[in-house]
Structure 1
C-alpha cells in the first residue's frame, strides 16, 4: 500500500521562469467593483458580470429545457441520510472535505454562472447515502466520485472507494451507521484514475491491507496505468490540473461552483490522503464472470477510451449496470485540459453501443462512477442511444471536416450537436466540450501541425508579442483597441489582443488587469466547469501572481514505481548543462531488479546489468531508498541505500537531476 498527501492547490508532482506572486486570496475577497472597464481605470479587483455577459447568459437560459426535471427526480430518489459530519477531517484535524458550502446551490442562479452549469451543480447539491435498488446503494457528494455499495451475503462490496482515504472512511462510516455494521468483503476499482482508487486504504483494516484477504478487482493493466500514467508529464500536468479544477479559486458564485464531474467543495478539492492498494486480480477478459460474497458479476472491459484501463460491470441478479466513467451525465473529455494523450472517441462510442446491446434489455437501474443513477429500461435505453450518438458525432464530424481541409481551430468553431441531441441534459458541455474534444480527435489522427507552413516554426510569444504590439501602434494604442473590445463584450478577441500585450511587457499592470477582466467574463459565460475554472484561475494569477506552495514531486507514487520506470522518469530530469563532457556508469539494485545506468552525451539510459559490467559505483536498497537518495529526500535510517565504490559517480548523477518547477507561469511569460 502506498499513501501520499495531496496538499491544497497542488497536483501529483516546468520550464518557464516563475514570477513572484502575492497572496492569491486578497484580490478575490474584496467584493464587486464597478463596471468591467471604466475608461483608463485598470485595476486588480474582481468585476461583476458585464451587461454583455448578463445578456449572453439570459440568451442561453432561454434556449435550455429547464422544465425537464427528470434528473432532479433521479438524483433525489432513494435518499436515506446526509453525511454524519459535513466536515471530513484527517488525523491531524485538518478539514479535507468541507461539505458546508452545498447550501449555495439552494438559491437562485447567480448572474456570474452559466445556467446550464448552475443547474448541474444544483442536481448534485445534496450529499449523502442513497438507495438505488434493494441491494445497491451509493454515497454521493462526499468526494469527486461516487462510492457504490453492493450488499453481499455477509458484507459490503465497495465500488470506487473515492479519492481521499479520509472521505472513503467517512462514507463507509455513514453506510454502517445506516445499513448495519458489516465487513468489507470485496472492492471493485473501475479504472485507473485516482479519484476512484485513492481512498481504498481508508475502507480496509490494517490486517486486510497486510494479508490481502479482501478481493480487490480491477481491469487489466490497472496497476501499471495507475502508477505510471502521465508520470513523465506529472509536473506539467499537476500545474494544469490546478487550473482545470480551480484549486486556488474561492468557493462561490464568483469562483469555483463545480468541478464538472461533481460540485465544488468549500475549501477546495486538493486535500486528503491518496492511497494505492494493488488489486488482488486484474481482469482482462471481456465477458469474464466472478462471484464475490455471493454476488454474481459480469465484466465488460473498456480500455483506451475514458481511461487506459477501465471496465464496466453488470449484476445479473440485481438487473443493475455500472457504467464506470464511460457513462456520465455530461459530455466528457476526449482530450482533457489538464493534459493527457487524446482518447479514442470512436472506441468510446462503440463501447456504449456494445453495452446497450449486451445489457440494455435486462437493466432496470444504471449507476456510474459520477453523478446520479437512471431508472427504467426505456429511459436507460434512450440515454445509451443518444449518449453513444454524441461521441460518434464528435468523432465522425471532426474526421469529415478534417478531410475537407479544416484546421483544428476551424473545426472547433463549427462543432455543435444537432438541436435534438443537445436538448438532452447528459449531452450538455458541463465538463468536456465539443470544441476542445474535436481538437483532441484531430490530434489523435494528424498531430499538432495544421499543415500551414507559417506554423512549422513560429516565434515564441516572448519574441512575437512585442512585434504585434509595435504593429498595433505601441502599448497605449494596443490597450485602447483592447479596452474597446472589452467594453463591447468581445472577450475572445480582447483576450487575443491582451495576450500579446501581456507577453510583450508583463511588468505593465494595465494589460494584465484588463486581460484578467476579459478572462473573468469568459469564465462567467462558460458552460463547462473546467473552462470556467481555467478562465477564472487565469484572471486570478494575472492579478496576484502564480501560487508559491508546491507539492513534493518525489512523493510516494514515484517511489512506488518499478525501478525501470523510475529510471525512465529520471531520464527526463537530466539537465545536460550540468554534466557537459562527462559520462558515468552506475549499478542500481533494488532486490528485484538490477540496472546499469549510463549517462553520456547528456542522456540517461539503462539496461539490465550483467556479470561483465563493472560500474564505478553500485547502489543497493529498496526503490524508495534509492529514489530518496538520488533526489536528496529524507528516509528512515533502516532503509537508507548503500553505496559501494566511487561515491563521486553517484554525486554526478544526483547533480545532473534538475527538479521540475512546480508553479511555472502560464498566463504570463
Structure 2
C-alpha cells in the first residue's frame, strides 16, 4: 500500500549506512575464567577423536578462492577463511575448550562424498547443501541461505561430478538456511515447465514466509547478536554458532513447492530413487520432515539429529518447540529405518556412518530431548519455577559425555526454561512476580535502595574481582536501566558479560554476551546482517498474511475512535477484500457495500510498493493504482502505520548515539 509498510524489515537500506567507528579494547581472560575453562578439559572426553576422522571422511576438494564467495557486485557474502584461526591451535584462555573443539570441526569445508551417490558441500554457509544423484540428474537437499553460496556449491559439485542437471529440490523444513539459495541451483522456468520438482513438507510455504515477517524486525535484531554478525572473528570474538559458523549475507530466494508431503508413510519416486517420508511438524521447525532412501540405505532426520543439543527455544526469538514430539519423531525414525540405514546425513555438521553408529546417535539424541522434557516437568511438579528448574537440570553422564549432545547451539539451561514455558507459560505462580515494574522504573528504585550508583559500582567491582560475573551482570543491569549514560556502569557490565562469554560452551550464548559487551562500550554499529524478508518472500506471501501484518503495523492508540473501510481489488490474482478499521483494530473481510473508497491494484504492483522499488504515488501517477471515492481515507489509514527501526538497543533501555556516549 505504501513503501514503508514492510520496508523496515528489508535490511538492504540499512546495510548501506556507514558504521560508527567506536571499537574498544577487549579484556583478556580473567583468572576465574581461565580456571573455569581449564576444568572443561578434565570434564569431557577430549581424547575421543572419531569426530575429527569423520569430518574429513570423503573429502574431495576445498571451497575455491580460499573460501570467499562473492555476489555479482564483487562483495563477499561468505568467508570461510575468517574462521581458520582455530585450526590446529590449542584453545586459548578466552575460549571454552569444548566450543573451540566444535569450531575446529565446523570450520572444515569443501566438497565431500557421503556415499557413492550422496555428496555434500559443507561450511559454505550456516548449513550444508546435499546432492543426491539419481538416474539422470541430481536432487538437491536444502540449498543454503543465499543464492550466491548455493550456486558456488553446485559449481564445485559439478566440477568434480560432471554437469548433471538438477531434477528436484527438497526443502526438509521451513527455516531460511534450507531454502534461501534455491535460485542458485535452479531456474523458476524449469520448475514451471515441470522439469524440476520442488518437494516440501505440508505448511512449508506459510511457515517460511510468516516467521520472518510478523515479529521479523525484533527477531532479526536479536539474530544479529545470536550469530555474532556484529563482533570480530577471533579468539576474543565469535567462535561460530555451534550449529554452523555464521549466516551468509547474500540474496535470499524462494520458489514455491510443486509437491507437498502431507503424511508419514508417503512415498515419492524421484529420478529412479524412492523417498519414504516421515512428518515431524513442531519439532525444530513448524514444518519439517525426515526421509529414507532405501536404494542408498541413507536416512536424514533433517535438523532434528545433528552434532549438538539443539534449541527448544531459539535466542533470536520464535515459538517454543515441543521436546516430547521431537523425541517421538526420532524414535519413529529409529523404528522405521534404524535397522536399514547405513548412513545418517543432515543439513548441518557431518554424517554418521555404520548401522550401529546411526542407531546409537538417534537413540542418544532421542533421549536427550525426552530427558529434558520429562525432568523439567518432574521439577515443575515438585513446585520449582522456571529459573530454579534450569539451574538444577544436569544431564546424566551417558548423555552429557556424548559429544553430539553438548550444548553448542541449544543449552541445557535455556532448553529447560523452554520446556517449562511450553507447558506453563511466563508466570511461575508467585504473585510478587505477576505484575513486575518495567526495567527503567525498577532500576531507579533498585539504585535508590542500594545506596546510589557509586555504592553499587564499588561493590560490583569487588564482586567482579571475585569472579561473580553473573551477579555483577544482574545488579549492573538494574543500574544501567536506571542510568543508561553511566559510563562506569556500562563498562563494568560489559566486562562482566565479556568474561561470561569467554566461558561459554554454547556458541550463541557467547555471541550474545560478547555482542552485548560491544554495544555497551561502543554503542550500536550498523553492520551487515542477513536479509531474510526478501523479494521472493514477499511475492510468495498470501494476501491475507500481508493484511495481517498491516494489523501489526497499525498504531492502536492513534487509531482510537477512527472508522475506515476500503475495498481492495487485485485483478491479476482475482482477489477481493475490504480493509475495515474499527475499535482500533484492522480487519480484512469480503468487500463491503459502502466503503469510504475502493482501490484497484495488481498484486505485482503491490509487491513493488511493499519491496520499496516503487511508491504508491508513483503507481497512482502511472495509472497502476485506481482509487474511487474518498482517497483521503486511504491516506489517513496509511498515516496510522508504524515504522520499525531495526537498530533498537538490546542492552540499554534508551537509544544511545555517538554524541551521548562521548558526553558520558
| Aligned counterparts of 1:483 and 1:639: Cα–Cα separation in 2 | 66
Maintained 8 Å contact 1:499/1:515 = yes
Q: Residues 625-664 of structure 1 correspond to what in structure 2 (within 5 A)?
A: 625-626=605-606, 629=609, 634=614, 640-664=624-648
| Aligned counterparts of 1:185 and 1:112: Cα–Cα separation in 2 | 47
Aligned residue pairs: how many? 632
* Superposed CA offset, 1:415-441 (max 9, x none): 110122111001100010111111111
* Superposed CA offset, 1:106-128 (max 9, x none): 12212211111110111122210
Q: Residues 207-226 of structure 1 correspond to what in structure 2 (within 5 A)?
A: 207-226=189-208
Q: Secondary structure at the match of 2:366?
A: helix
| Aligned counterparts of 2:183 and 2:539: Cα–Cα separation in 1 | 18
Distance 1:627 1:206, change over 3 A: closer
Maintained 8 Å contact 2:249/2:528 = no
Q: Partner residue of 2:565?
A: 585
1:569 paired residue among 530, 549, 561: 549
Using structure 2 for the length normalisation, give the TM-score.
0.92
1:494 paired residue among 448, 465, 472: 472
2:301 paired residue among 323, 332, 342: 323
| Aligned counterparts of 1:639 and 1:138: Cα–Cα separation in 2 | 50
Maintained 8 Å contact 1:550/1:662 = no
Using structure 1 for the length normalisation, give the TM-score.
0.91
Q: Partner residue of 2:327?
A: 349
Q: Partner residue of 1:112?
A: 94
Q: Partner residue of 1:606?
A: 588
Q: Residues 359-370 of structure 1 correspond to what in structure 2 (within 5 A)?
A: 359-370=337-348
Q: Partner residue of 2:423?
A: 445
* Superposed CA offset, 1:606-659 (max 9, x none): 11225xx12111122233533655797625867943322221011011101011
Maintained 8 Å contact 2:145/2:248 = no
Q: CA deviation at 1:47?
A: 0.6
Q: Partner residue of 2:63?
A: 83
| Aligned counterparts of 1:631 and 1:190: Cα–Cα separation in 2 | 27
| Aligned counterparts of 1:541 and 1:313: Cα–Cα separation in 2 | 43
Q: Secondary structure at the match of 1:138?
A: strand
Q: Partner residue of 1:260?
A: 242
More displaced 10-residue stretch of structure 1: 342-351 or 617-626: 617-626
2:123 paired residue among 134, 141, 155: 141
Distance 1:182 1:22, change over 3 A: closer
Q: CA deviation at 1:577?
A: 3.8
| Aligned counterparts of 2:610 and 2:128: Cα–Cα separation in 1 | 38
Maintained 8 Å contact 2:473/2:496 = yes
Distance 1:632 1:324, change over 3 A: closer
Q: CA deviation at 1:224?
A: 1.1
Q: Partner residue of 2:658?
A: none
Q: Partner residue of 2:151?
A: 169
More displaced 10-residue stretch of structure 1: 504-513 or 207-216: 207-216
1:465 paired residue among 424, 428, 443: 443
Q: Partner residue of 1:180?
A: 162
Q: Residues 292-441 of structure 1 correspond to what in structure 2 (within 5 A)?
A: 292-441=270-419
Distance 1:11 1:409, change over 3 A: farther
Distance 1:301 1:25, change over 3 A: farther
Q: Kindly indicate whether residue 97 of structure 2 is the aligned counterpart of residue 101 of structure 1.
A: no
Maintained 8 Å contact 1:550/1:663 = no
Distance 1:25 1:419, change over 3 A: farther
* Superposed CA offset, 1:541-576 (max 9, x none): 001112346888985334541111111111011113
Q: CA deviation at 1:171?
A: 0.2
Maintained 8 Å contact 1:22/1:545 = no
Q: CA deviation at 1:102?
A: 3.7
Distance 1:26 1:545, change over 3 A: closer
* Superposed CA offset, 1:262-297 (max 9, x none): 124xxxx35100001101111112111111111111
1:617 paired residue among 597, 601, 606: 597
Maintained 8 Å contact 1:345/1:392 = yes
| Aligned counterparts of 2:623 and 2:323: Cα–Cα separation in 1 | 46
More displaced 10-residue stretch of structure 1: 601-610 or 385-394: 601-610
Q: Secondary structure at the match of 2:566?
A: strand
Distance 1:371 1:471, change over 3 A: same
* Superposed CA offset, 1:168-192 (max 9, x none): 0000000000111111111111000
Q: Kindly indicate whether residue 495 of structure 2 is the aligned counterpart of residue 517 of structure 1.
A: yes
Q: CA deviation at 1:580?
A: 4.1
Could you tell me which runs of 5 or more consecutive residues in structure 2 were left unpaired when the two chains were aligned. Answer: 1-6, 12-16, 654-664
Maintained 8 Å contact 2:140/2:166 = yes
* Superposed CA offset, 1:84-107 (max 9, x none): 222111111111011222421212
Q: Partner residue of 2:112?
A: 130
* Superposed CA offset, 1:479-525 (max 9, x none): 01111111111100000111011111111100001100000001110
Q: Secondary structure at the match of 1:121?
A: helix
- CA RMSD in angstroms comes to 2.1
Distance 1:629 1:200, change over 3 A: closer
Q: CA deviation at 1:315?
A: 0.8
Maintained 8 Å contact 2:9/2:644 = no
Maintained 8 Å contact 1:23/1:544 = no
| Aligned counterparts of 1:661 and 1:395: Cα–Cα separation in 2 | 37
| Aligned counterparts of 2:420 and 2:630: Cα–Cα separation in 1 | 51
Maintained 8 Å contact 2:131/2:139 = yes
| Aligned counterparts of 1:543 and 1:278: Cα–Cα separation in 2 | 44
Q: Partner residue of 2:652?
A: 668
Maintained 8 Å contact 1:571/1:603 = yes
| Aligned counterparts of 2:172 and 2:294: Cα–Cα separation in 1 | 18
Maintained 8 Å contact 1:27/1:46 = no
| Aligned counterparts of 2:624 and 2:233: Cα–Cα separation in 1 | 43
| Aligned counterparts of 2:40 and 2:226: Cα–Cα separation in 1 | 23
Q: Secondary structure at the match of 1:111?
A: coil
| Aligned counterparts of 2:84 and 2:532: Cα–Cα separation in 1 | 36
| Aligned counterparts of 2:223 and 2:29: Cα–Cα separation in 1 | 25
Q: Residues 183-202 of structure 1 correspond to what in structure 2 (within 5 A)?
A: 183-202=165-184
